[in-house]
Amino acid sequence: MAKKKEKKNALDRPQLGDGVEILSAGEVLENTITDTLEINYMPYAMSVIVSRALPEIDGFKPAHRKLLYTMYGMGLLKGNKTKSANIVGSTMHLNPHGDAAIYETMVRMSRGNESLLVPLVDSKGNFGKAYSRDMAYAAARYTEAKLDPVCEELFRDIDKDTVDFAPNYDGTTTEPTLLPVTFPTILANNTLGIAVGMASNICSFNLAELCNATIAMMKDENCDLSTIMPAPDFVGGGTLLYDAAEMQNVYENGRGSIRVRANWAYDKVNNCIDIRQIPSTTTVEAIMDKITELVKLGKIREISDMRDETDLNGLKLTIDLKRGQDPDKLMARLYKATPLEDSFACNFNLLIAGQPKVLGVRTILKEWIAFRADCVRRRTYYDLQGKQKRMHLLKGLEAILLDIDKAIHIVRETAEEAEVVPNLMIGFGIDEVQADYVAEIRLRHLNREYILKRTAEIEELEKAIEDLKDILERPVRIRKIMMAELTEVAKKYGKPRRCAILYDLPQDDGLEEAEQVPDYPVTLFYTRDGYFKKITPQSLRMSGEQKLKDGDEIVYTQDTTNAVELLFFTNKCQVYKTRAADFADTKASVLGDYVATRLGMEEGEVPIFMALTTDYKGHMLFFFQNGKCAKVLLESYQTKQNRKKLLKAYSDKEPLACILQMEEEAELAIYTTGNRLLLAGSALIPAKATRDTAGVNVVNLKKNQQLAKVKPAASLELADAHRYRVRTLPAAGALIRPEDTVEQLTL
């Protein structure tokens, strides 16, 4: 019975099709989240960091290195250009991430795209532009490319064991783990990489300055780099705003922010500003979008038109000015409000021996010098081995010079081919390698002239071998070789700086906001339905009847100036702050601006009162239907941050009856629905600093009565004003006599 039961339990377990038992099937295994992350996520994160996103000491990420080495193997350093599609296809032997990613990598390295200060790919065709978001590059089947001549410095002596090689992803070929670059490419071109949990953003430096700074570092590790290489250089040009503290942080720690602004020129004939260089961190479209936004918001009024005139001669952004505008003041404002002045956030994070490290410029140069010295040492050792091998062969050839006939006799008299080399070794006292070399010499070369020419190299080889050994034994000589190579690179490929340096930073390029607003007389009109008009006196004199929406009427008219600030109180207890200058001058024949839409109010929100101020002096009076009044200081709505919208502009506990703005204390006429009127000075109402205060009682209301409206008493003509005047609040007021009734009171 026990055996049968055991057999039944075994059959109940899940089985594979071939009868193999599945172990632990259906069981829930407990595991900590930290272990799961370590097992599943950490390998991916480390792969991105080490093998994809961060550059190494040679200045390249794996994708760039694979592409350049493929082009080098295709003979595109000296040969003619080939279709980009051919390059992309060949690169997939080393980089399996897809043709689109490979081609995009090549585009950014091309001369035509203008992304790099030292371009590495000589391109033909449309490769787009780094400074334009919309100028897309053509497909790979249309464009052509080859390596730029400067790439000769990237692959120099790569076949002399200067760097290590590793198998590619499928083991069919090998690729270099680093390139034996003869100059610090890590700092010659800008590099952006986003890994997992870390990123890298390295700016570019002028090639000639960089080479000279590296030479100075070899002579003195503590030299002042800023005197030789004062600041980065960007491919887009522009003007770099020099900050000594930030630059010191970049040079020593690899972090800091570098501000660059566009270069411009004023065309007096056409009254326009021409921008030819912009920061490399932005695009023409981003600048135009921001300027357009500022113009629509009314913050910039000096511009009449703007267009992108970029052509084959390069970037050109033209801004047309209105008559009489100051271009210097406009550009100062645009620098502050648009990407015409942008910052490059430095984060010099790179891989050193497989470990990500954030290093300053000085430390990076030290690491590169050590890397390049190792490349030169390995190259020298490779040359030494080659010359020693050649020397060894020539020594064997020299031995048979004594008796060529004997060598011929040995070869001729040897019965078996396999015995030729051993017999030559015995006959002349040479080793197998030398004997094999002699045996392979053609019959036509077995003459004294040929042999004397070959053996004449022995003396030169001896000197060369001694020189190579001396290089390996003396690090000073290795550094001299590196300095000579850097000097040659600077002389051959160095170019003047593209980015100018501005040392004297302006303290405040722009003007104060109030000074930027053109101030001139205007008349403001505000209607019951929320339409706003701003009309100049000259236009108003020439205008006819005001155009209004059907059923609408003007409820507020005020002569003021263009610099006045406007406060629109809404039915949702909020206030929107703007300026008269933010609205365009208009005419009486138009409806005007609908305030709710113009200020971006919420759905169902409408303005119910407009207040004007230039200095935020005076009070706002909020009268509620329950007979209370909240007297709020107008300065309570003034903010240092120039906020455009304030919440809790007034109390929402009771329905609102009326809003008044009082610049000075005055007598008020307060009406109730019980046909009562009271005259009271606004000074009797205490002021509050809190905007949403519930207020104080000003009217004693009888049952089912409410406060109806309030208006300045100076506008009334009463037969007996003393009848309604009160000295203290709250008060009930007096019934309105027939002769004092001016209008029917309604809610």
Q: What gap in Å lies between CA 739 and CA 628, rounded to an integer?
A: 28
The active-site residue out of 41, 44, 142, 169 is 142
Under 8 Å between Cβ of 659 and 610: no
Tokens of 109: 């390295």
| Pairing between β-strand 707-712 and β-strand 628-633 as defined by DSSP bridges | unpaired
Which residues have CB under 8 Å from 212's CB, separation 6+? 228, 229, 486, 490
Burial of 424 (0-12, 13-18, 19+ CB in 10 A): buried
Q: What gap in Å lies between CA 348 and CA 200, rounded to an integer?
A: 6
Tokens of 45: 């994160």
Of 55, 59, 94, nearest to 73 by C-alpha is 94
Q: CA geometry: angle at 739 spanning 738 and 744, to 5°?
A: 55
Under 8 Å between Cβ of 646 and 574: yes
Is-catalytic flag, 131?
A: no
Residue 303's SS3 state is strand
Q: What gap in Å lies between CA 367 and CA 374, rounded to an integer?
A: 11
User: Which residue has 């209008």 as its token pair?
Assistant: 743
Q: Report the amino acid identity of residue 240.
A: L
CA distances from 195 to 49, 201, 278, 343 (A): 5, 11, 28, 21
Q: Report the amino acid identity of residue 275.
A: I
| Pairing between β-strand 628-633 and β-strand 687-688 as defined by DSSP bridges | parallel
User: Which residue has 């020439």 as its token pair?
Assistant: 542
Q: What gap in Å lies between CA 222 and CA 522, rounded to an integer?
A: 66
Residues acting as catalytic residues: 142
